[in-house]
Amino acid sequence: MLRIICKDTNFFQIFTQKNFVNSKKSCIFAPPKYIEPWCNGNTADFGSAFLGSSPGGSTRQKHLKRVLFCKIAIERTSQTMLTYPNAKINLGLFITEKRSDGYHNIETVLMPVPLCDALEVLENRKGSEDVELHVHGRSIDGNPSDNLVCKAYQLLKKDFPTLPNIRVDLLKKIPSGAGLGGGSADAAFMLELLNRKFLLGISDEALEDYARRIGSDCACFVKNRPAFAYEKGDVFEPMDIDLSDYQLVLICPPIHVNTKAAYQHVVPKAAGFDLRKLPETPIHQWKEVLQNDFEPSVFSQHPILSDIKKTLYNAGAAYVSMSGSGSAMFGLFPRETLVKTGHAPSLQKINHFLQIAFEKCTLVCLNL
């Protein structure tokens, strides 16, 4: 089977109208015999474009012209598949009550951001283990078998026992224990990748249910769009939030915050603001109405985080907050301001502060 990722709507319609097997969103799974005539049989070449001669008839020639204007990638589903789990930030985080099951009800807005890990899966026919995990980049504490990526595989394996043994290579760029949801994102993207690679036919809704069994915020990465999250943080309402006029400055200090311990220092209370009104609230007012209920207790244990928040505001940020239970801090900077003043003065001021405070600290500027 071949998987075609098609960015061109017209070309996608051509294939779905032809009923080339499984179609979902902008992806089509089709037997090679349908595809090879369009690319001179070169279907094994990942990324090859459909630029070959079109056999038979002017209709296919017309279809071929459309292909010249779209980006197409081809990959054999029996070979490796690669995906890029992204981080998230929290826009406001209210801890509203302690539940009888030991968890907490929260209200927050989850916003995907383009800081990504890389996750690659290869069928491992010679491997003796169900899943063989190799971690690269940032180190991860603990036994690899306890990693959420492995738990995602084992969860699907229970319902799909024919899943083959696999090798997983995980390149970590998202810091752990920073409140950016890196581990949850890896697990959710693993579920989605296995679903696509092995043609399991699991719906997004079912994938969310699997993800909830791994972690409360894991399910938000299935549809991976801005959302108001409530209850345990695993029930969502989509939100339309446009931050394209802002640049995100993300600071990840070398401080690990244990989420379970962070909850123990918080006294739940009713939310001070209805986060569903956030899209209609001007960003310059956010610092007046939004708060992260973890900040007081985490800042008391790590005062340098409060200093980072002040530094970001002093550098011109419109809104600054800790993400999740920390320790990552982020600031939203108006793009217009950065264009007029240039990036250098603001970033140099922040960098100078961080170099004094830490031996090693990550600062990333991201477009939203």
Query: Domain boundary at 238, 269, 295, which?
Result: 238
Output 35 or 300, whichever has higher pLDDT.
300
Lowest mean pLDDT among 70-74, 275-279, 301-305, 346-350: 70-74
**Residue reference for tokens 């990959």:** 75
- In order of 36, 214, 368, the CA distances from 249 in angstroms are 46, 29, 10
More confident residue, 344 or 60: 344
The yes-or-no verdict on residue 295 having pLDDT over 50 is yes
The confidence score (pLDDT) of residue 339 equals: 52
Q: How much is the pLDDT for 345? A: 56
- pLDDT beyond 50 at 60: no
| CA 174 centroid distance within chain | 10
Q: For position 338, what pLDDT does the model report?
A: 57
Query: In terms of domains, do 231 and 266 share one?
Result: no
Regarding whether 18 and 92 lie in a shared domain, the answer is no
CATH number of residue 205's parent domain: 3.30.230.10
What pLDDT does 42 receive?
44
Is residue 3 within 8 A of residue 25, CB to CB? The reply is no
Q: 97 with 220, same domain?
A: yes
Same domain, 96 and 52: no
124 and 155 belong to one structural domain: yes
Number of domains in the chain: 3
Is the pLDDT score of 38 beyond 80? no
Instruction: Provide the Cα torsion 330, 334, 338, 343; round to 10°.
Output: 10
Tell me the pLDDT tens digit for each residue of 183-208. 999 999 999 999 999 999 999 999 99
Which of 17, 45, 76 finishes a domain?
76
pTM: 0.75
Q: Give the per-residue pLDDT at 246.
A: 92
> How confident is the model at residue 298, as a pLDDT?
94
Q: Give the pLDDT confidence score for residue 259 in this predicted structure.
A: 83
Q: Mean pLDDT for the chain?
A: 80
Residues 107 and 185 in one domain: yes
65-112 tens-digit pLDDT: 344 333 343 434 445 589 999 999 999 999 999 999 989 999 999 999
The pLDDT value recorded for residue 197 is: 92
**87 & 56 share domain:** no
What's the confidence (pLDDT) of residue 147?
93
- pLDDT digits 0-9 by tens, 315-347: 889 999 999 998 999 999 988 765 555 555 566
Lowest mean pLDDT among 40-49, 88-97, 208-217, 257-266: 40-49
pLDDT of 44 above 70: no
> Same structural domain for residues 361 and 289?
yes
Max CA separation in the chain (angstroms): 73
Do 64 and 151 belong together in one domain?
A: no
Sheet holding 81-83, edge to edge: 81-83, 118-123, 166-172, 131-137
Q: What is the pLDDT of residue 134?
A: 93
End position of a domain, from candidates 238, 257, 279: 238
Tell me how far apart the alpha carbons of residues 219 and 350 are, in angstroms, rounded to a whole number: 34
* CATH number of the domain enclosing 312: 3.30.70.890
**Long-range CB contact pairs, 136-140, < 8 A, 24+:** 136/169, 136/170, 136/171, 136/172, 137/171, 137/172, 137/173, 138/172, 138/173, 138/174, 138/175, 138/176, 139/172, 140/172, 140/176
Beta strands 86-98 and 81-83 are unpaired
pLDDT at 327: 92
Residues 35 and 172 in one domain: no
Same-domain pairing of 168 and 295: no
- In this structure, the answer to whether residues 86 and 190 fall within a common structural domain is yes
Provide the residue range defining the domain that includes 272: 246-367
pLDDT attached to residue 15: 45
Percent of the chain at pLDDT > 70 equals: 74
List strands edge to edge, sheet with 2-6. Answer: 23-24, 27-30, 2-6, 72-76
Residue 169: predicted pLDDT: 95
Active site residues: 88, 217
